[in-house]
Amino acid sequence: MINPILCILTIGSCFLTGVHSQETPPPAPDSREQLRVLMERYEEHRRNQSPEYARSKGDSRNAGRLRTTGIQAEQQRLQANTDFLQRLESIPNQ
């Protein structure tokens, strides 16, 4: 008799160790899922970079901080925004 719990544990361990990926790669997330994840990351980044913006959205995690200013901070924000834009452009249109 086959033990169903043992089967589940065996299959689960294959997924955790990546055995299944040697046969067929896991499916890529669809464009909508990629966009949703990217937008969540961008929103979190924006709230971390601008505590004032975060507070306007009801997020008080960084309430004791102000937005970092200066050339280096602006360059970092520009680079981060460029990276987000490149990731957005890499998502295929469906």
Tokens 């990926």 label which residue?
Answer: 21
Mean pLDDT of the chain: 78
Stated pTM of the model: 0.62
**pLDDT, tens digit (0-9, with 9 covering 90-100), for 42-62:** 999 999 988 888 899 999 888
Helices (H) and strands (E) in the chain, counts: 5, 0
Do residues 84 and 45 touch, judged by C-beta distance below 8 A? yes
